[in-house]
């Protein structure tokens, strides 16, 4: 089915929003009502983007016109995103970045609000009226996100947004410790995020950070030993897929943008290897494409002037692992984008990947690199399902 770029801005319908806007209805009942209206929601990753877009819109509503229905929609949407992806480990969840970004943003706003109130001599957080405030919505949502990311929303799924609000804002409520930096580190290690500045400041590492650092060191040591052997890098990764799934997924997402890497990824999806070992192929490809786009973006910068600054295109290569593979300039960008488009187009043509799974990435390519002729052709291909030059239908 052709993908319209405007789909990226689609939100839930009025009927769907109404199903989520009752603050007295339990999360479970609200979600079931939503599923009854939208049959494809439970199985279509693309449909969940409408929930995410609705969240963004209602976050703005919470600032401008806070109300109980706004609180209900926000909390129910967060629950729906978790519920649809509950079988996926949180480290691999496509919405982990959304939750951590929202949490950091909300906590910053709450801190600023507390500072302002303290300066005005206001020390009570409780709202004595029947109305709900922007600050109360933000505090309740922040707590709910911590429950979602912590994998605990199944326990209070029979509760309602109103009950959660009362527990958070009007009762002596305490939430188990939540290590935000751990999840930031997960996003950095999987290259979903660049390393935040605050994480570069030396400090006392948490236990989970130590665990990640240790795992990364062990992975690096293992990779170094494997490089010394005659074993092919594809065989190394295949073994890791079987024995150490988390490390394998992290390395698959960071493969260089080369023909050998793209062939390897295509094979893993085609022959069902990823699914066999319970690795979500769509999410793995999505994160790899995001990584590849960051590599292409770096090509726009001037080449490094010293060997210390020289970075390579990924962690392994089908050829000489020690040779730098990063190129620079418009021509290099154009070649890399064309290669990436061929990879994406091949997966879509073979029905191995739905275009909507890469909606954001396709949009970035079509906006940022529209000066490449093949990108303009690709944009028409995904939007209109035009026929190729050989007459084959490509929609």
pLDDT in tens, 201-256: 333 344 444 444 444 445 444 544 544 443 588 888 898 888 888 888 888 888 88
Q: Can you list the residues of the chain whose pLDDT is less than 70?
A: 1-8, 39-46, 116-129, 151-156, 170-177, 190-191, 194-231, 301-327, 385-395
The three-class DSSP label of residue 387 is strand
Long-range CB contacts (within 8 A, 24+) of 167-175: 168/139, 168/140, 168/143, 169/125, 169/126, 169/127, 169/136, 169/139, 169/140, 170/126, 173/143, 175/143, 175/146, 175/147
The residue extents of the domains of the chain are 5-178, 231-384
pLDDT in tens, 7-37: 557 889 999 999 999 999 999 999 999 988 8
pTM for the model: 0.55
**Cα–Cα dist 197/257, whole Å:** 27
């Amino acid at each position: 089915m052709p993908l319209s770029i405007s789909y990226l801005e689609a939100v839930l319908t009025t009927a769907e929003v109404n199903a989520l806007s009752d603050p007295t209805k339990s999360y479970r009942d609200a979600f079931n009502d939503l599923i009854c209206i939208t049959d494809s929601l439970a199985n279509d990753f693309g449909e969940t983007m409408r929930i995410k877009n609705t969240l963004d819109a209602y976050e703005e509503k919470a600032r401008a016109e806070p109300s109980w229905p706004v609180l209900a929609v926000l909390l129910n949407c967060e629950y729906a995103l978790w519920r649809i992806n509950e079988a996926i480990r949180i480290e691999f969840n496509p919405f982990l970045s959304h939750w951590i970004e929202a949490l950091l943003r909300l906590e910053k706003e709450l801190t600023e609000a507390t500072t302002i109130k303290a300066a005005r001599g206001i020390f009570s957080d409780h709202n004595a009226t029947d109305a709900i405030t922007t600050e109360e919505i933000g505090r309740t949502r922040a707590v709910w996100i911590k429950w979602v990311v912590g994998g605990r929303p199944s326990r209070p799924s029979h509760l309602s947004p109103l009950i959660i609000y009362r527990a958070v804002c009007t009762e002596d409520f305490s939430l188990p410790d939540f290590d935000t930096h751990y999840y930031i580190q997960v996003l950095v290690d999987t290259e979903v995020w660049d390393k935040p500045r605050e994480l570069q400041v030396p400090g006392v590492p948490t236990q989970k950070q130590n665990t990640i650092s240790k795992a990364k060191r062990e992975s690096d040591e293992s990779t170094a030993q494997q490089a010394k052997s005659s074993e092919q890098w594809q065989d190394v990764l295949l073994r890791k897929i079987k024995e150490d799934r988390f490390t394998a997924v992290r390395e698959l997402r960071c493969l260089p943008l080369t023909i050998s890497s793209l062939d390897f990824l295509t094979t893993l999806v085609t022959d069902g290897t990823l699914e066999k070992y319970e690795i979500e192929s769509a999410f793995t490809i999505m994160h790899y494409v995001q990584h590849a786009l960051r590599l292409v973006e770096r090509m726009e910068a001037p080449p490094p002037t010293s060997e210390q600054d020289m970075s390579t295109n990924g962690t392994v290569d089908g050829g000489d692992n020690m040779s730098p593979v990063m190129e620079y300039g418009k021509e290099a960008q154009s070649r890399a984008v064309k290669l990436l488009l061929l990879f994406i187009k091949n997966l879509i043509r073979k029905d191995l990947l739905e275009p909507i799974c890469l909606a954001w990435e396709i949009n970035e390519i079509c906006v940022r690199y529209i000066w490449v002729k093949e990108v303009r052709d690709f944009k028409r291909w995904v939007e209109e399902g035009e026929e190729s030059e050989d007459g084959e239908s490509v929609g």
